């Protein structure tokens, strides 16, 4: 019996050691985040091992786990009719309220996951809640994923789905008010939503355009991995700084060996002729961020770097992949915006810089910042995590849509 107790104590101690992670004092419900991070780290380590052994690509194992645990069939409930369809040839799940007004609002949603991970169960729960609370038709797009699909495939899927969503045939079929349509997404999905909003704002052939864009902790640039939020939150779960660099390289179809160069900002050194002074000004956080967010951090700009990177990965400068690089005239034509950011998120400053650039371009912007938030918190508003900041952020996001759409 004593040996069993000792073994149990050792196992518990080992588990606590694995789970425990020093976190900033202000983060919401730290033990919940530690447990979530321990789960994610386990999956990541298993997928890295499978990748190293040549069993499968690391993303394939992660998506297999997601499909086992998270993916659910289209299931209707008393309030919402759920069906699988296509938009512009792209698989899409549609959430339609069964009651309410005959003409409804419409939201096109792009899920997050580093352009590589599939739609999780939590996105169905989010879209179902949005449909019911807003009396709106919500369409969640299953765009193609890395590594099989790389940029611009995901962008093209998002654009095709958006054009179809705004077509008279789709609007009439689902009873959507053409004056009350929004494009939205979180993380990598926020990237796609921002890029689509820019592209379609320039298309004068469209008779219907998005009236709002709602971006949830979006990823918007890959030239500076030393913004204050990247420096402050590099070791804060669930999106670690190296993981974001890896996601970018997978999305752009680039060699994973370039990861250390990106993390050192060698790809954006001053000797890179492809990066003009104008482009650098569009993500100059020393000018675009308020002092409260800049804090004590200093820019990391190399005089000389790795000159071949931009030639090898020119997509780093493509505005369709990095919407923060858009010209002010383009931003000025995009619809009113909601941008959610979280203090303990490496992508915080991507969103805050975009807020400033949109405002400078004359766009009405609501900046919704969560001082205790972390990356991905909104989709963890549901069981089993029931994140407090996730629930607050989700409710405020839905409230903004209700008031502005």
**Catalytic residues, which ones?**
187, 345, 375
* DSSP state string for 253-318: T--GGGHHHHHTTGGG-TT-TTS-HHHHHTT-HHHHS-HHHHTT------SS--THHHHH-GGGG-
Sheet holding 104-110, edge to edge: 80-87, 90-97, 136-141, 104-110, 176-186, 212-216, 336-344, 365-374
Hey, how many other C-beta atoms are within 10 angstroms of the C-beta on 201? 19
How many angstroms separate the CA atoms of 34 and 23, rounded?
Answer: 8
Rg (CA), the chain: 21
How many angstroms separate the CA atoms of 362 and 161, rounded?
Answer: 27
Residue pair 374/393 in contact by the 8 Å Cβ criterion: no
* DSSP state string for 135-160: TEEEEEE----TTTS-TTHHHHHHHH
H-run or E-run covering 370: strand 365-374
Both ends of the chain: CA-CA distance in Å?
64
H-run or E-run covering 381: none
How many angstroms separate the CA atoms of 194 and 42, rounded?
Answer: 32
Burial of residue 388 (number of CB atoms within 10 Å: 0-12, 13-18, 19+):
middle
Spell out the residues 6+ positions from residue 356 whose beta carbon is closer than 8 angstroms to its own. 288, 289
**Tokens found for residue 207:** 């008779």
Spell out the residues 6+ positions from residue 48 whose beta carbon is closer than 8 angstroms to its own. 58
């Amino acid at each position: 019996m004593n040996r069993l107790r000792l073994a149990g104590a050792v196992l518990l101690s080992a588990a606590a050691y694995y789970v425990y992670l020093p976190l900033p004092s202000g983060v919401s419900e730290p033990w919940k985040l530690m447990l979530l991070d321990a789960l994610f780290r386990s999956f990541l380590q298993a997928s890295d091992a499978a990748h190293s052994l040549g069993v499968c690509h690391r993303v394939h194992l992660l998506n297999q786990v997601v499909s086992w645990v998270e993916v659910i069939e289209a299931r209707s409930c008393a309030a919402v009719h759920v069906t699988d369809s296509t938009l512009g040839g792209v698989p899409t799940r549609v959430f339609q309220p069964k009651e309410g007004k005959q003409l409804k609002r419409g939201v096109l949603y792009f899920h997050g996951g580093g352009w590589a991970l599939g739609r999780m169960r939590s996105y169905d729960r989010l879209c179902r809640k949005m449909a019911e609370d807003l009396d709106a038709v919500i369409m969640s797009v299953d765009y193609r994923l890395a590594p099989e699909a790389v940029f611009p495939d995901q962008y093209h899927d998002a654009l095709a789905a958006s054009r179809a969503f705004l077509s008279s045939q789709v609007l009439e079929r689902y009873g959507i008010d053409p004056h009350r349509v929004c494009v939205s997404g979180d993380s990598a999905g926020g990237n796609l939503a921002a890029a689509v909003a820019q592209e379609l704002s320039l298309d004068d052939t469209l008779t219907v355009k998005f009236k709002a864009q709602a971006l949830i902790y979006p990823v918007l640039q890959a030239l500076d991995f030393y913004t204050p939020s990247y420096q402050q939150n590099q070791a804060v779960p669930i999106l670690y700084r190296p993981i974001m660099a890896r996601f970018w390289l997978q999305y752009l179809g680039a060699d994973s060996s370039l990861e250390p160069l990106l993390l050192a900002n060698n790809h954006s050194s001053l000797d890179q002729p492809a990066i003009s002074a104008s482009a650098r000004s569009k993500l100059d956080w020393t000018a675009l961020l308020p002092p409260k967010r800049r804090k004590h951090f200093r820019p990391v700009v190399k005089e000389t770097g790795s000159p071949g990177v931009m030639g090898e990965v020119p997509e780093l400068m493509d505005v369709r992949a990095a919407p923060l690089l858009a010209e002010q005239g383009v931003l000025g034509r995009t619809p009113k915006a909601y941008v959610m950011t979280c203090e303990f998120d490496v992508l915080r400053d991507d969103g805050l810089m975009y807020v400033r650039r949109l405002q400078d371009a004359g766009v009405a912007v609501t900046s919704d910042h969560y001082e205790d938030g972390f990356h991905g918190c909104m989709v963890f508003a549901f069981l089993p995590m029931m994140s407090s900041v996730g629930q607050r952020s989700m409710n405020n996001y839905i409230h903004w849509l209700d008031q502005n759409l």
